[in-house]
Amino acid sequence: MSLLNFRRPAPVAPVQNGAVEALMQGFSLEVMPRTADKIADFRAILPAGTRVYIAHIDGTPIDDMVATAARLRDEGMEPMPHFPARIIADRAELADWVARYQGEADVHEALMLGGGVATPKGAYDNSMQLLDTGLFDGFRRLHVAGHPEGNRDIAPDGGADVILQALRWKEEFARAQGIEMAIVTQFAFEAAPIIDWTKGLRREGIDMPVHLGIAGPAKLQTLIKFAIACGVGPSLRVLQKRAKDVSKLLLPFEPTELVAELAAHKAAVPEFAVEALHFFPLGGIKTNTTWTIAHGGAAARPASPA
């Protein structure tokens, strides 16, 4: 497995450019209210219609979340707020959030996830419980979390059975409700394990498309910090190996090579489960959007029709 490219990429053959550009179509971006506040106008840095996830970190007021969603809608983006089960008190609070997002920001897409807190603060422990409330039945699109390198919050023993069972339940829910659903993943740093993971999903009969998490350009130290905090697994070795070269510690770490490998695989194997890329702008939103535009994302649109 080759390492990610830390320098300005050398020119590549037109076929490879085309493969990367094709994979970049429909890319999405993740923000928080406080990071979104640093952007004067998203229309200046993102193509119209880009799906923008809004991370709901524990302690963030719902007023800030809804205001960010409304602003993104006004600026021509497609807001997709997070609904972290473990920070929601009860059904009444969940219903209030849903009503406010729909009424004030015309939200009809959401990411459902357990949430980053160890102990539930209220009635919910997982995203299946949120879906089972019926409050999301009118949504057009719902995404659920995926973990190419496992998730010990869900499966403390590191096994995949519990995770696969949950994904099957969610896929059946989406099918029964007529809701578009995709798996959006945590970021990783190696192509081969990602490809193997998607093959495993298909072997297990899970047919949802995958929107693959990609860590945007950032300093190596920043990526290592976030990777450890987010529970990134074996592919963390890519960063650790790079960190041994002290001369490169301060150089920007870009996902250029990783994306190129994934794009080449998608071009060779069209049934590859990865449908789109989802960027975590760990080095800053503008840094990330500059990279996406330079690497084929200038005409990106949501992966599915509105």
Which whole number is the average pLDDT over 118-138? 95
Of the candidate ranges 17-21, 98-102, 232-236, the one whose mean pLDDT is the lowest: 232-236
- Of 87, 90, 85, 162, which is closest to residue 128 (Cα–Cα)? 85
Q: Could you tell me the pLDDT band of residue 182, with boundaries at 50, 70 and 90? A: very high
pLDDT of residue 232: 56
Confidence check: pLDDT of 46 > 50:
yes
Q: Which of 152, 225, 223 is nearest to 189 (CA)?
A: 223
pLDDT at 238: 58
**Angle 118-217-236 from CA coordinates, rounded to 5°:** 50
Which DSSP string do the residues of 89-142 spell out, in sequence order? --HHHHHHHHHHHHHHH---EEEEE--S-SS-SSS-SSHHHHHTTSTTTT-SEE
User: Please, are residues 193 and 269 in contact by the beta-carbon 8 Å criterion?
Assistant: no
**What's the pLDDT band for 10 if we cut at 50, 70, 90?**
very low
Mean pLDDT along residues 129-147: 96
Assess whether pLDDT exceeds 60 at residue 5: no
d(CA 53, CA 64): 14
pLDDT surpasses 60 at 132? yes
Is-contact 190 1, C-beta < 8 A? yes
**pLDDT tens-digit readout, 140-171:** 999 999 988 765 555 555 557 888 999 999 99
pLDDT for position 226: 58
**What is the arithmetic mean of pLDDT over 16-26?**
87
Q: What's the pTM?
A: 0.86
Q: What's the chain's length in residues?
A: 306
Strands 51-54 and 28-31: parallel
Q: Residue 135 has what pLDDT?
A: 97
Contact present, 31 and 53 (Cβ < 8 Å): yes
Lowest mean pLDDT segment, chosen from 170-174, 213-217, 223-227: 223-227
CB 29 within 8 A of CB 53: yes
What pLDDT does residue 17 have?
74
Pick the CATH number of 14-297 from 3.40.50.150, 3.30.1330.10, 2.40.50.140, 3.20.20.220: 3.20.20.220
**SS3 at position 222:** helix
Query: What pLDDT does 250 receive?
Result: 62
Task: Give the span between the Cα atoms of 53 and 185, in whole angstroms.
Answer: 13
Instruction: Give the model's pLDDT for residue 4.
Output: 37
Looking at the predicted structure, is the pLDDT value of residue 9 above 50?
Answer: no
Tell me what the mean pLDDT of segment 183-209 comes to.
Answer: 94
Which pLDDT score, from 0 to 100, does residue 221 have? 73
- Residues 93-115 have pLDDT tens digits of 999 999 999 999 999 999 999 98
Q: Range with the lowest mean pLDDT among 35-39, 46-50, 190-194?
A: 190-194
